[in-house]
Amino acid sequence: MKQERELYAKGHLVFTFIRGLHTVIEEDIKIRLKKDHGLLYPAFKILWILSFEDKMNMSEISEITLTNISNTYRQLVKLKDMDLVTIGSNEDARIREIRLTDKGERLVQTILRDHSNRTDLNLLPFLSNIPKEDLDIFIEVLTDLSRSLLGDKYTSWALNTSEYLKES
């Protein structure tokens, strides 16, 4: 019983720390997006995801954003109205092809360039101070957690996009 309580308490710490870190990092990104580009974070997440893919459907986007299809649909309509994405025609909205427009692609590239050149994300200076071996182990643990809890598709997408960012 004591071991179960200890494991439960450690699970609580993992959840609480990850949630807190997510909130702080997301807030840094939100401030920059709103200030520099007039864009809200949920919309940007979709643009960001589409920048790595030639096309996706609404269900696939929902799976990667970890949001429900209704929220994804609302964001896509706003992005379409801003001429940042195109939404193909199909009777079933969940499988319509979604693509970035040229304007959407340019916006994502501008945001990526701006963040790479003058980042004020609080996470990056901290990560640069962690020994490479420790950071690699931490990422390995997170990858295992992601694969177990979120599945291969989400985890593979994260790993593939990370590799793309390293090479670009």
Strand ordering across the sheet containing 85-87: 56-57, 97-100, 85-87
Predicted confidence (pLDDT) per residue in 82-120, tens digit: 999 999 887 777 788 999 999 999 999 888 877 766 556
Which tokens in the block code for residue 74? 């609302």
Sequence-ordered list of residues with C-beta below 8 angstroms from that of 34, at least 6 positions apart, any chain: 40
Which pLDDT does position 78 carry in this prediction?
93
CATH of the domain at 46: 1.10.10.10
For Cα atoms 57, 60, 39, give the angle at the middle one, nearest 5 degrees.
80
Contact 90, 96 (CB under 8 A): yes
pTM: predicted TM-score of the whole model, two decimal places: 0.80
| Residue 155 counted as domain residue | no
| Residue 49 counted as domain residue | yes
Which pLDDT does position 95 carry in this prediction?
80
CB burial of residue 87 (10 Å; 0-12, 13-18, 19+) = middle
Predicted confidence (pLDDT) per residue in 151-161, tens digit: 999 999 999 98
Which pLDDT does position 118 carry in this prediction?
58
Which pLDDT does position 148 carry in this prediction?
95
Which pLDDT does position 103 carry in this prediction?
96
Domain span at 55: 2-129
Contact 64, 49 (CB under 8 A): yes
Low-confidence stretches of the chain (pLDDT < 50) are: none
Which pLDDT does position 117 carry in this prediction?
60
Distance separating alpha carbons of residues 85 and 103, to the nearest angstrom: 8
Which pLDDT does position 101 carry in this prediction?
96
- Please count the structural domains in the chain: 1
| Residue 140 counted as domain residue | no
Three-class secondary structure of residue 85 per DSSP? strand
Which pLDDT does position 89 carry in this prediction?
84
Which pLDDT does position 121 carry in this prediction?
64
| Residue 63 counted as domain residue | yes
Which tokens in the block code for residue 133? 């071996």
Identify the sign of the CA torsion 130, 131, 132, 134. Answer: negative
